[in-house]
Amino acid sequence: MPIAQPTPGKLLLSPGDHTLVMIDFQSQMAFATKSIDPVLLRSNAALVAQSAQGFGVSTILTTVAEKSFSGPMFEEITSAFPGQAMFDRTSMNTWEDAAVIARVNEIGKGRIVLAGLWTSVCIVAPALSAIDQGFEVFVIADACGDITEEAHERAMQRMAQAGAQPMTSLQYLLELQRDWARAETYETTTGIARRLGGAYGLGITYAQTMFGASEGH
């Protein structure tokens, strides 16, 4: 019989064990995205970006044909990483871009977390490619979108069947925090949740304002 220990499982993400890759959050890609409301998509993308910035997660931002066709990356994302270099590609598959892969290798993390547009093309391709090369892959499902709900769902199924682990944007934030006793990131986590965490964030605001309450107390 296994012995339970008060320690986190190895499958959980920690801020220092992965690279977040945010892919093609651009106007041209968003125009045709129908599997998720664009306002919610932008909010979730901002939540992921601010979570990564707040916890010091190694992050790669990449676009496709930014100047010639697809437009700039969402300001909600770039504002979280002021001055950070943007990798612009010609390849739909981020994993086939030599500059991006050089940065992945420079960072040197064995786990890759993906978010972006569209799920069935620009997320599936790097996910399957990274898995094939021995990386552990996570996909933030509600910070991805596609031209139809079915396109998104079939893409998520395909990646999960290959070994990718699906998660959500709020789950990503809370998994990085994981313990409300971590005072150094408590305000970062609850601040992001208040701004971008939907009804959960409203609940935090209400509890703090009305009762002076806080998570974990």
Active site residues: 122
* Residue spans of alpha helices (H) in 61-148: 75-78, 98-107, 124-132
Is 13 in a helix, a strand, or coil?
coil
CA angle 105, 154, 133 (to 5 degrees): 20
d(CA 143, CA 167): 9
d(CA 189, CA 177): 7
Angle (deg, nearest 10), helices 198-211 and 183-196: 120
d(CA 20, CA 38): 21
Beta pairing, strands 165-167 & 111-117:
unpaired
* The CA-based dihedral angle spanning residues 196, 82, 165, 122, taken in that order and rounded to the nearest 10 degrees: 110
